[in-house]
Structure 1
Amino acid sequence: MSTVMPADLDRTLLSAVTTAVRDAGATLRERYTTQARGVSLTEIVAEIHANDEAVLAVLREPLLRARPGSRWVEDELEGGALPPGEWWVADPAEGNINHVHGMPDWAVTATLVRDNQPVLTVVHLPLTGDTYTATAGGGAHHNGEPLVVSAKSDLGAALIGTGQARPGESTDSFRRIGESVTAMLTAGLVVRVSVPATLQLIHVAAGRMDAFWQFSDVRSGLVAGALLVTEAGGTVTDLDGKPWSAASGDFLAAAPGLHAAALDVLSF
């Protein structure tokens, strides 16, 4: 799925990115409270934007400095192919909606995407101190220990996840999500529907979950997990079974023994 980076460059850049993401995570943790913030939609959106702005003030410049010539994707909810070259796709508060509602499922992510393929990623969970990293061809790790996907081959024994990529999707998209959840509830053991995508995908990479799908092209929620799952030995494609890239319109990541069966269920 990815273009391999030189090993010495991997190590140097990964260290710098990890430091930047952890520093950004400290800023986001300082803003966290277990009480929900905001009542009206306007207030909630304002809290979300305030989180983004505070973290980006810490995160953006160190990443651009760490990789001279790289560019920055401004809108974290964008999808579709990027222009050629190297781009930072970062989410300063992945799971921002959880953060402002006092829930613990949120993280800071930064992924270097080269020619629409993720080649390096760091995901940091500030509340627990857990850090997930991957480089193309260099494996995936959790706090420095290798990650390996599930060995399951029976979809009927699988814990599978999905979720809504962004608010305001079309009615047809919501209907498709509902139909796919029904289909997977029938075929799998348990289906977990939650946000954000990255936090489910780190579970797939670690073998704690077995598959994750999404009808979405929102890059910031998928690029980090796509590289982590691939480097942990999983299979990542679109829902036509073609290799996934940032240009793909939908997404499936699964343990190799389950991928074909999951793809079949979702091909309705």
Structure 2
Amino acid sequence: MTYQELLAPMAAAAQEVGDLLRATPRPAPVASFAELADAYGSVEAPAVAVMRRHLDALRPGVGWAEELDSLAVLPPDGEVWVVDVVDGAVQFLQGLPQFCVSLALVRDGEPVAAALHAPLLGETYLAAQGGGATRNGRPVVPAVKTDPAAAVVATSQPPFVVRQPAAVEEAGRSLTAVLPHVGAVRNLGPTSWQIADTAAGRLDAFWQFGRDDANLLPGALVAREAGVVVTDAEGRPWTAGAGSFLAAPAGLHGHLLKLLADRG
């Protein structure tokens, strides 16, 4: 099965999980992190079971990367699934609508097929290496803006970012550097979906500091296949394990690189 042929069954898996999430009542309010973790576990377990049934049948013997550990190291060779059944779990548990189901097949460290499904929006982004990117079956293209002052850009942080103190510092410095020069900076929920929305021109760019492969890999493929320039904050092609990420159309990418370089 080609990577392009994988997309339909990947979309079906993401949509079935999304249907399950949409039908799941939000957990009761919690007072501590331990209670929050328990609430997430009660949502995650049935969603993972559905996804495993699909993916084990689709690619027998292919393992899963740890979706919540931003510091996990992907295997350098072979295939692995990178899956987050509730990408934007914090929003989901808070009763906010910004969450999605995210999965990518990664081969030799590079994403080769990706599916993102937002159940409350009824939208699905798909991309395969060399096959372009779509949303609900239609090709997506990034924004054509060239003036940062007109740009709506987004940023986020890896989960459990306290384990990456340098990323916390860089996040603050980069926001200070970028904010005065763009139209607006937003954090609209799941990292993968924000990158995909950059691919589709809904957002004009996305950046982040810190290692966050599980959240970046699916969106990175969608963005690349749509023609977005995807690098680290130094302008090098982004690869899994990098400590920073920037996705922007060609007309804005250089401007944002300069702003990030001036973060001090």
Which sections of structure 2, spanning at least 5 residues, go unmatched?
A: none
1:124 aligned to which of 111, 117, 126: 117
Question: Is the CA contact 1:36–1:101 (under 8 Å) kept in the aligned structure 2?
Answer: no
1:97 aligned to which of 75, 85, 90: 90
Deviation at 1:247, TM superposition (A): 2.6
Deviation at 1:65, TM superposition (A): 2.1
Greater shift after overlay, 168-177 or 46-55?
Answer: 168-177
Structure 1: 4+ residue segments shifted above 3 A = 78-81, 169-172
Q: What is the match of residue 102 of structure 2?
A: 109
Deviation at 1:194, TM superposition (A): 4.3
Q: What is the match of residue 259 of structure 2?
A: 265
Q: What is the match of residue 213 of structure 2?
A: 219
Q: What is the match of residue 13 of structure 2?
A: 20
State whether structure 2 residue 258 is matched by structure 1 residue 245: no
Deviation at 1:196, TM superposition (A): 1.9
Q: What is the match of residue 148 of structure 2?
A: 155
User: Aligned pairs, how many?
Assistant: 260
The Cα offsets for residues 135-160 of structure 1, whole Å up to 9 and x where unpaired, read as: 11111100001100011111121111
Judged with a 3 Å threshold, the aligned counterparts in structure 2 of structure 1 residues 236 and 31 are, in CA distance, closer, same or farther, namely same
Greater shift after overlay, 169-178 or 228-237?
Answer: 169-178
Q: What is the match of residue 183 of structure 1?
A: 177
Deviation at 1:130, TM superposition (A): 0.8
Deviation at 1:94, TM superposition (A): 0.1
The whole-number CA distance in structure 2 between the counterparts of 1:29 and 1:127 is: 7
Deviation at 1:69, TM superposition (A): 4.0
Q: Which amino acid aligns with 1:188?
A: V
Secondary structure of the structure 1 residue equivalent to 2:258 = helix
Q: What is the match of residue 51 of structure 2?
A: 59
Deviation at 1:39, TM superposition (A): 2.4
Deviation at 1:246, TM superposition (A): 1.3
Judged with a 3 Å threshold, the aligned counterparts in structure 2 of structure 1 residues 32 and 83 are, in CA distance, closer, same or farther, namely farther
Which sections of structure 1, spanning at least 5 residues, go unmatched?
A: 1-7
Deviation at 1:183, TM superposition (A): 0.7
Give the superposed CA RMSD. 1.7
Question: Is the CA contact 1:82–1:247 (under 8 Å) kept in the aligned structure 2?
Answer: no
The TM-score normalised by the length of structure 1 is: 0.91
Question: Is the CA contact 2:195–2:223 (under 8 Å) kept in the aligned structure 1?
Answer: yes
The whole-number CA distance in structure 1 between the counterparts of 2:4 and 2:126 is: 11
The TM-score normalised by the length of structure 2 is: 0.92
Greater shift after overlay, 72-81 or 254-263?
Answer: 72-81
Secondary structure of the structure 2 residue equivalent to 1:222 = helix
Deviation at 1:70, TM superposition (A): 2.2
The whole-number CA distance in structure 1 between the counterparts of 2:53 and 2:65 is: 13
The whole-number CA distance in structure 2 between the counterparts of 1:125 and 1:165 is: 20
Q: What is the match of residue 84 of structure 1?
A: 77
The whole-number CA distance in structure 1 between the counterparts of 2:217 and 2:167 is: 21
Deviation at 1:235, TM superposition (A): 0.4
1:70 aligned to which of 54, 57, 62: 62
